[in-house]
Amino acid sequence: MTVKLTGPRLMLREFSPDDWEAVYAFTSRPEVSRYQAWGPNTPEDAQTYVGRACAAALEKPRSTYILAVVQAETAPPPVPAGQHSAPARDPTGAVAAQ
């Protein structure tokens, strides 16, 4: 089953193997990974992450969801949605419905 969730501004979708370059462009920046347990990432790290996300999408039964976040209108390069339990918040600071 392919996952694709679209709202008025954002879309969550499965990663594709070609997404590693966009993931690397984002996760290689020190300011992005400053408070994370990972990074800054190398190209190999990004390829491994995207490969793991693609493999997880093929699992049956599926137990892991690693999705890319893109703007719904223009679909720019993906940004990892992350894997954490903190409530999702929109740019205004409101907690998103779960």
Per residue in 13-67, pLDDT tens? 999 999 999 999 999 999 999 999 988 999 999 999 999 999 999 999 999 999 9
Question: Could you give the angle at the alpha carbon of 87 between the alpha carbons of 85 and 89, nearest 5°?
Answer: 140
For the chain, which residues make up each domain, given as ranges?
4-80
Q: Which superfamily does 4-80 belong to?
A: Gcn5-related N-acetyltransferase (GNAT) (3.40.630.30)
- At 78, the pLDDT band (50, 70, 90 cuts) reads low
Q: What is the DSSP string of 47-60?
A: HHHHHHHHHHHH-S
| Model confidence at 87: pLDDT above 90 | no
Model's pTM, two decimal places? 0.70
